[in-house]
Structure 1
Amino acid sequence: MGAKKTDTHFSNTPFMANEMSNIEYGEFENWRGEKAEPAKHGGVRASSIVCVVEVLENMVFLSNATNFVAYFLKSIHYPAAQSANMVTNFMGTSFLLTIFGGFISDSFLTRFKTFIIFCTLELLGLILLTIQAQDHRLQPGPNSKPSKPQEATLYTGLYAIAAGVAGVKAALPAHGADQLDHGNQRLISAFFNWFFFSLCFGGLIASTVMIWIEENLGWNWSFKISVVTLSVALCIFAMGFPIYRFKRPGGSPLSRIYKVFASAIQNRKVSLSEAENRLGISGEMRNHEKLRFLNNALISDSITATEIEETKTFLGLLPIFASTIMMNCCLAQLMTFSVQQGNIMNRSLNKFKIPTQSLSVFPLIIMLASIPLYEYFVGLFGIKSNSGGKLNMFQPLRRIGLGLALASGSMAAAAIVESKRRAAANDDNVIISVFWLGWQYLLLGISDMLTLGGMLEFFYSEAPDSMRSMSTALSWCSTSMGYFISSVLVTISNSVSGHFGKEWLGGNDLNHARLDLFYTLLCILNFINLLNYIFWAKRY
């Protein structure tokens, strides 16, 4: 897989034959800097360590994301709205900064070192907040606002965690996939499926065990347990050091992309056909080449064919990335409006009342169950390759497309259920069961499994070797941008509907709001986005 992107007509031209850099063709090394041996380094055993670490890391991240609201309210004495916004900003920043973590991993450090450094940074941030939570001198007094030093302590710890999470989530999946044979795409696909399973399993522990601990033993126990858990995760990951295989960073990919664009612009007056003829590129290959205007950059002796292909490949990933953002707007509803719906629905199960914070357990269980089922059906209905082996009939692009289609369907189901819930509450004064939300949870859960898992696999497999961490980070950036755009859509919907009478989502009473119309809007936008995705996927 690693050589696929550079096996192009550029590498076959006499002009470029000796100019190819070793960015793409670099061998994997062991910890001594020697060539890695397949029998001793890498493999399923090494990648399995990554999955175990992801369970613990995501449990820490999500349990603290839910714990922070209580901490900000009870210890730092921030208002409820400000506390909620701080958590939203924390999560959004964590995911957005993954692109920075991926850049560091690809450019300057191995993915192993990136994880160690950023996980240590996250751990230090947790320790700082744990100390503040236990030391009353670092907290404001009763009915008092925090002082500047106290706020500085809080924000230093909080955003040290955010930066650490960003580096960890950028480097960890790429490091795990690096351990496997890139010639076996089915193995790479299976890894990302089980990595997603580990991510969801960590979330399930955070939504059940950690919430029980916070409610029964006190919210401050979350910090202590998180410190211990993340320390264990760091130790487990480090213990795999002798069996891992590593790839040296190839320098800044962004500077190479900039250099290609600068050279293409500088040589823009040179006829494209003339430039390609001078380089010995055949007409047949020219006709099938994407982003041909970048070929002019090859006039410069300082630009290699590998750098051209690297630039084209990364640019080709961006439309796919942009097409997945709207789906994550739907996921944001599970954390916001779906929870509000659950609060005013019948949550009783015999004599047990389901806690509101645990409503997220439903989509997590559905996602966890969908991974083994997906793997089973892939093995059962896999298609035959030319070599006789089975290939995944759900290639990443098809898998993402199916996930986007299910996202639109989930919003249609959500609109129907909310219409039924609202009518029952207003007309018949009946509170329907919270399990009616299961339809949107089911469809969105499977959609997330297909889309995020497919994105991780697609961006890793298609990206140049020198940009795999940064490209994989696009999956997390899509999640972050989806949450931010969801807030924008709510604001726009209220503004527009307010001009025509009453805001759809105005006030705090969902029985008098029109959440069903907002869900319908998301369904339509996701369907349009699906058509946009199909357009770009066919052109890829």
Structure 2
Amino acid sequence: MEIERDEFTDWRGRSIQSKKHGGTRGATFPCVVEVLENMVFISNASNFVTYFKSSMHYPIAQAANMVTNFMGTSFLFTIFGGFFSDAFFTRFWTFNLFGILELVGLIILTIQAHNTQLQPPTGRKPSSSQSAMLYTGLYAMAVGVGGVKASLPALGADQFDPSNKRLISSFFNWFFFSLCTGGLLAVTIMVWVQENIGWNWGFKISLMVFCLALCIFFVGCPFYRCKRPGGSPLTRFLKVLASTIRNRKASPQEKNQNEVDGRSHNKFRFLNKALVDNTISSAQVEEARTFLGLLPIFASTIMMNCCLAQLQTFSVQQGSIMNKKLSRGFEIPTPSLAVFPLTIMLVSIPLYERMASLFFKSSSPKGYELHPLRRIGTGLVLASGSMAVAAVVESMRRRAANRNVTLSVFWLVWQYLLLGFSDMLTLGGMLEFFYSEAPDRMRSMCTALSWCSTSMGYFLSSVLVSVANSVTQKFGAAWLGGNDLNHNRLDLFYTLLCVLNFLNFLNYMYWAKRY
């Protein structure tokens, strides 16, 4: 308890009280806030490609890349948000800073959607000033999202004792439940508003919902316990690397082996040479060793998120030209297809939590500790399967279109379902794994690796689209070169993603076994 009083404070920087601060009560507020924050983020991100194409009149390929770049930037900035909360600010103040920035971005986008003079005329691309306003609002929101998603889950997990892995795992399961709840509200209520009432009201409602999220976050102020920032983790990491390189010719006898933690003694042993430098402690070496060990797992999940990017881009465009009628003239918006995997995930998370609880009681803590790696691996397999299904469905859709038959949009449910499960297993597993395995003073930054993997996946998607078009154009026609999917070869692009993701799974298995 004395250690906790030194490491943690309340939101004003004062000493904490064990009966008042932290625990389930303090962790509940970040979960509730995440429902509303993710509702705003997903409702816009899942349907931005339609807004860019129909309201701002960008070509389909450019609109798709704009969405993936926006998503990529949002998740990339989680690393910076995590760095700030580990090094300079508490996670509480990091959320406030980036939350205000996300709010500013939403205000700019709302103003542009409300004023038709700030939008291009039909059939014309946006002017320089209109594009500048769009990108300013878009990337202010993206940077804000990055900081919010980096600080919020780590703040929630900080409310529990890090040594209690069962409670930490349970928190991340319910945090992911909150993510899914927000996503479900986004692809039903919010997307319907955007499609039927207009983006003007869509942005206005997003703005009001996010303001409500900020208010709820502030209501929880008396109950949070906030971890003191521990200085720049990157500076310590780079210092260890520099010392290792400087002393690379040191003999094993010069290293103080007794100071090295035996738990990871055989991992990255070359870092032990940094101990020759008297300014480097064994704790700093162990921190660098642990962080390096997480990076291969992080890199192995990027390809899965490249597949996930297709749900916000090409899958939306597929659905827009398919039969969306249900009954009596009602049409389901394509982004709302995600309601099926989200609903199943919302039901499965409490069941998963119950099964995990029973498993934890009947197994050793060590066996449970490795469980997130198996969870991530299962998610990667499902991602590869989803792309195989997507390729088959798109091939069927093209053949039907050539016969003047419009295939039902519900054929896309399968790829949404498989990728939804894949995301639940992979992202949920990564959040738990990186937080639990992270060095104590790098928890925000390491947790942010989960979101950064998503970022890299979205950027990789943009790169693969450009490369695929460039290469296939030399052999006849670009797979994704036109605005008409009936003449494109999206099925071949999905097949490419399936193969690449399977190879990535084999790579993951290698690193997971070595961890």
TM-score under structure 1 normalisation?
0.85
Correspondence for 2:165: 185
Structure 1 partner of 2:305: 328
**Where does structure 1 lack aligned partners over 5 or more consecutive residues?**
1-21
Instruction: Give 2:494's aligned amino acid.
Output: Y
Unaligned runs of 5+ residues in structure 2 are none
Q: What residue in structure 2 maps to residue 263 of structure 1?
A: 243
1:65 aligned onto 2:45 = yes
Q: Is 1:456 equivalent to 2:436 in the alignment? A: no
- Aligned-partner residue type, residue 255 of structure 1: T
Structure 2 Cα separation of the partners of residues 140 and 496 of structure 1: 33
Are residue 275 (structure 1) and residue 254 (structure 2) matched? yes
The reply to whether residue 160 of structure 1 matches residue 160 of structure 2 is no
Instruction: Give distance in 2, aligned partners of 1:79 and 1:431.
Output: 23
Q: Tell me, yes or no, if structure 1 residue 433 matches structure 2 residue 411.
A: no
Q: Structure 1 28/70 Cα, relative in aligned 2: closer, same or farther at 3 Å? A: same
Closer, same or farther: CA 383–430 of 1 in aligned 2, 3 Å:
farther
Q: Counterpart of 1:220?
A: 200
User: Could you tell me which amino acid in structure 2 is paired with residue 411 of structure 1?
Assistant: M
**Which letter maps to 2:346?**
L
Distance 1:440 1:79, change over 3 A: closer
* Shift in Å, 1:483: 1.6
- The one-letter amino acid paired with 1:310 is E
In structure 1, what residue type is equivalent to 2:336?
S
Larger mean Cα displacement after TM superposition, 105-114 or 298-307: 298-307
Aligned with 2:389 (options 413, 421, 438): 413
Query: Does residue 109 of the first structure (1) align with residue 89 of the second (2)?
Result: yes
Please say if residues 383 and 393 of structure 1, whose CA atoms lie closer than 8 Å, have aligned partners that are also in contact. Answer: no
Partner of 1:297: 274
Q: How does 1:37-436 map to 2 (within 5 A)?
A: 37-65=17-45, 85-134=65-114, 153-271=133-251, 273-276=252-255, 278=256, 280=258, 285=262, 288-351=265-328, 352-382=330-360, 384-386=362-364, 392=368, 395-426=371-402, 430-436=405-411
Moved more, 183-192 or 249-258: 183-192
1:459-483 deviation digits (Å, cap 9, x = unpaired): 1111112111111111111112112
Moved more, 492-501 or 88-97: 492-501
Is contact 2:191–2:333 with CA below 8 Å preserved after alignment? no
Q: Does structure 1 retain, via aligned residues, the 8 Å contact 2:92–2:155? A: yes
Q: What is the DSSP-based 3-state SS (H/G/I as helix, E as strand, rest coil) of the residue aligned with 2:20?
A: coil
Task: Write out aligned runs for 1:438-449 (5 A).
Answer: 438-449=413-424
CA deviation after TM superposition for structure 1 residue 37, in Å:
3.7
Query: Of 465, 487, 498, which residue of structure 1 is paired with 2:440?
Result: 465
- List per-residue Cα deviations over 1:315-368 (Å, max 9, x = no partner): 111100100011111112222332333234333323332223423333333433
Shift of 1:93: 1.4
SS at match of 2:504: helix
1:272-303, CA deviations, whole angstroms, 9 ceiling, x for partnerless residues?
x1122x55469x95994211111111121211
Separation of aligned partners in 1, 2:47 and 2:400: 34
Residues 499-531 of structure 1, C-alpha deviations (whole Å, 9 max, x = no match): 455544444444454433332322222111111
The amino acid across from 2:273 in the alignment is: N
**Structure 1 residues 412, 25: closer, same or farther in 2, change over 3 A?**
farther
Kept in 1: contact 2:298–2:449 (CA 8 A): yes
Which residue does the alignment assign to 1:9?
Answer: none
Q: Which amino acid aligns with 1:336?
A: T
Quote how far apart the aligned CAs of 1:174 are: 0.5
Q: 1:131 to 1:296 in 2, by over 3 A?
A: same
CA distance in structure 2 between the partners assigned to 1:217 and 1:151 by the alignment: 24
Is the CA contact 1:97–1:166 (under 8 Å) kept in the aligned structure 2?
A: yes
Two-structure CA RMSD over aligned residues (Å): 3.2
Task: Say if 1:505 and 1:514, in contact at 8 Å, map to a contact too.
Answer: yes
Structure 2 letter corresponding to 1:528: L
Q: Which amino acid aligns with 1:275?
A: E
Residue number among 486, 493, 498 corresponding to 1:518 in the alignment: 493
Q: CA 1:366/1:483 → structure 2, altered by over 3 Å: closer, same or farther?
A: farther
CA distance in 2, matches of 1:92, 1:323: 17
Aligned residues: 512
Rounded to whole Å, the distance in 2 between the matches of 1:344 and 1:243 is 50
CA deviation vs aligned residue, 1:88-145 (integer Å, no higher than 9, x gap): 4332211111111111111000000100111112223323443455567867799998
Alignment of 1:28-43 (within 5 A): 28-31=8-11, 33=13, 35-43=15-23
Q: Which moved more, 1:499-508 or 1:67-76?
A: 67-76
Higher mean C-alpha deviation, range 480-489 or range 451-460: 480-489
| Inter-CA distance 537–495: structure 2 relative to 1 (3 Å threshold) | same
Q: Distance in 2 between matches of 1:182 and 1:377?
A: 22
- Per the alignment, residue 3 of structure 1 pairs with none
SS at match of 1:46: helix
Q: C-alpha displacement at 1:162, in angstroms? A: 1.8
8 A contact 2:16–2:225 mirrored in 1 = yes
Is the contact between residue 383 and residue 392 of structure 1 (CA under 8 Å) also seen in structure 2?
no
Quote the offset at 1:454 in angstroms.
Answer: 0.4
Deviation at 1:245, TM superposition (A): 0.7
The change in CA–CA distance for 1:81 and 1:413 in structure 2 (over 3 A counts) is closer
Asked whether the 8 Å contact 1:505–1:513 carries over to 2, the reply is: yes
Query: 3-state SS of the aligned residue for 1:297?
Result: helix
Shift of 1:439: 2.3
Bigger radius of gyration among the two: 1
Structure 1 residue 146: Cα displacement:
6.8
- Tell me by how many angstroms 1:78 deviates: 6.2
8 Å contact kept, 2:49–2:313? no
Partner letter of residue 283 of structure 2?
A: T
Question: In the aligned structure 1, how far is the partner of 2:8 from the partner of 2:52?
Answer: 46
What amino acid sits opposite 1:538 in the alignment? K
Identity %: 68
SS at match of 1:353: coil
Q: TM-score normalized by structure 2?
A: 0.89
Deviates more, 1:246-255 or 1:378-387: 378-387
- The question of whether the paired residues in 1 share the 8 Å contact of 2:76 and 2:146 is answered with yes
Distance 1:393 1:185 in 2: 8
